[in-house]
Structure 1
Amino acid sequence: MTSLRVAAAQVSTGADPVANLATATEAVRRAAAAGASLVALPEATLAAFGTDLRAIAEPLDGPFATGLRKVAAELGVVIVAGLFEPADDGRVHNTLLATGPGVEASYRKIHLYDAFGSRESDLVAPGKDLVTIEVAGVRVGLATCYDLRFAAQFTDLGRAGAELIVVPASWGAGPAKEDQWDLLTRARASDAQSWLLACDQAWTPPVGTDPLGIGRSALIDPLGHARARLGAEADLLVGTVDTGLCAAVRARVPIL
C-alpha cells in the first residue's frame, strides 16, 4: 500500500501565458505548502480556449513549460498541466505536461471536443498514445477533459496499472453539464478501478462555443465515490490517494 498526497489547483486562465504562468506558480506553491506531492492544473493552463491557439502554442522546451519545470524542481513536486504545442500539420496539440523530480512526460489529448457546437479538431490535432507515469511509487495515468466520455480509455489505463488518473479539464458550461461532469468522473474512476483526480478551470462565463470551465474539481475513489469536491470558484482541493483500495477493489470485482 502506498499513500500519495495530491492537489487539484482550480484556477481560471486567460489569454496571456505570462500571467497564466504566474497564476499557476502561485497555486502550485499553495498546494506544496499543503503537503501535496502531485499537483494538477487545468487543461488550457497556458491560455484559455478562445485564444488564438496557433499564435500562443509553445514547444515543450518553451518558456511556459520551462517555468513549470523550474517551480516543480524548486518545490520537489510533480506538476500536471495543460498547454498547447505546435503540431506538424499546422494545428496544435492539446498536451498535458507532467514534470517534476524523476518525471518528464507528455500526453496529447486523444478525443477532441467536436460536440455541443464546438470543433476542437479544426485547430487541434489528436494524439494517439496512452501515457502513464510513476510518482512516489504510484502509477498515474493521464487523460484530458472530453476523454471522460470514452470509457475504454480509462479501462485501458486501469489495465496498464494506473492507480490514479489525473484529468485536467476546461469543461464547458451548459444544460446539465455539471451533472454530466459529476457522473462521468465517478464512472471513469469505477471503470479503471482507480483513483481519479479531475481538475477543471474555475467557472467562467461562456463565450460562444468555446469551453471554459464550471469548477467542481474532484477526487474520486476506485468505487466511484467523491471523496472531495470543490465548488465553482477558484480554489484548492487537497486529498490523499491510498493505493491499497485499488488492489482491494480489483480483487473483489475483477473486471479488468
Structure 2
Amino acid sequence: MRIAVAQILSGTDPAANLQLVRHYTSQAADAGATLVIFPEATMCRFGVPLARIAEPLDGSWANEVRRIAADTGITVIAGMFTPAGDGRVTNTLIATGPGTDAHYHKIHLYDAFGFTESRTVAPGHEPVVISVSGVRVGLSICYDIRFPGLYTELARRGAQLIAVCASWGAGPGKLEQWTLLARARALDSTSYIAAAGQADPGCRPAESGAPTGVGGSAVVSPFGEVMAAAGAEPQLLIADIDPGRVAAARDTIAVLRNQADFAHLDKAESPR
C-alpha cells in the first residue's frame, strides 16, 4: 500500500487549514497513495483558546474532511478538536475515506516540559485500529509516542501500520527524541510507523509555550529503518508499505510473542 504523510504548518483559521488538507490530499492521490496522514492540530494550531475552535464530529469542519476524502477517493487521517462536555475539548483524529468513518481521542495528555494539556483537553480511553485497503492502521497522537504499551496493544489488536500525528514541542534535543521514539515504537510493535508532525514555524507563541511543531516527519519500517524523512519545512512524504515485512519482523524479532508477565514489586519475595 502506498501512503502519504503531509507535514503541514497549521494556522489559527480552520477554513484555511482545510485548504491545506485539500491541497495535500489531492497531491497524495495524484501520487497513487490510498492513505494520507496529517498532523495533530490540523484544524488549528496550539496556542489559541481551543474551546472556541472545537466542533463535533458531525460538524462542518469534519464533514468537509469527509468531502475531501470522497472527492479524491483516498482515506484521510487528520487532527481536530471536539467538545468534551466539561468545558474542555478532546484532542481527536478523524479517519475517513472509502469504507471508513472513525475517530480516536488522545489518551496520554502532554503534561510535561512545562505545558499542561489537561487543563484544556480531556483524555480519551480507547485504542483504535481501522482498516484501509486491507491494511490494519492504528491511531495515536503526539505524547502517546512516549508510552510503548499503547503501541504493543495496537499491534496485538492487529495494527500493521501505526499513525502518530503530532505537533511536537520545540527545545534542546526534542527533534532527536521525536525521531528516536518513532523508530523505537516501530521496533516495540514490529509495525510500520507513520509519524506526521507539524512543520517548524520558526517563531513560537511565547505567551503559551504551546507545542507548534519541529518538522522531522518520517515513515519507519517494522525493522526500525527510516524509509522517508522530512526536514523542517512543509512537505509531502510518499512511501510504500508491505504487510509482508510486518509478518517477517514479527517472526524474526518476535517481541510481541516473547513478552512475559513479570512479578509486581508488591508481590516479589524478599531475599533469604
Shorter chain as denominator, the TM-score bin is: over 0.9
Aligned match of 1:95: 92
Give the distance between the partners of 2:251 and 2:32, measured in 1 at CA: 30
| Superposition misfits of 4+ residues, deviation over 3 angstroms | none
Aligned match of 1:177: 174
Aligned match of 2:112: 115
Q: Which amino acid aligns with 1:239?
A: A
1:216 aligns with 2:216: yes
Give the alignment of 1:6-85 within 5 angstroms. 6-85=3-82
Aligned length: 253
Aligned match of 1:153: 150
Aligned match of 1:237: 237
Question: Contact 1:5–1:240 (CA<8 Å) still a contact in 2?
Answer: yes
Which of 190, 194, 219 is residue 193 of structure 1 equivalent to? 190
Which of 198, 204, 207 is residue 206 of structure 1 equivalent to? 204
Deviation readout 1:144-168 (Å, 9 max, x if unpaired)? 0000000100011111110000111
State percent identity of aligned pairs: 52
1:253, distance to aligned residue in structure 2 (A):
2.2
Deviation readout 1:182-237 (Å, 9 max, x if unpaired)? 11000001111000101000101222310001111100000111111010000100
Question: Contact 1:172–1:206 (CA<8 Å) still a contact in 2?
Answer: no
Which of 107, 124, 128 is residue 131 of structure 1 equivalent to? 128
Question: Contact 1:110–1:129 (CA<8 Å) still a contact in 2?
Answer: yes
Give the distance between the partners of 1:14 and 1:228, measured in 2 at CA: 25
Give the distance between the partners of 1:149 and 1:254, measured in 2 at CA: 21
Query: Runs of 5+ in structure 2 lacking a partner?
Result: 257-272
Give the distance between the partners of 2:241 and 2:85, measured in 1 at CA: 38
Q: Which amino acid aligns with 2:143?
A: Y
Give the distance between the partners of 1:254 and 1:150, measured in 2 at CA: 19
Q: TM-score, structure 2 length as denominator?
A: 0.92
Structure 1 vs Structure 2 CA RMSD: 0.7
Give the distance between the partners of 1:178 and 1:17, measured in 2 at CA: 26
Which structure has the greater CA radius of gyration? 2
Deviation readout 1:26-75 (Å, 9 max, x if unpaired)? 11111111111000011000100012100000001111111110010111
Partner-residue secondary structure (3-state), 1:143: strand
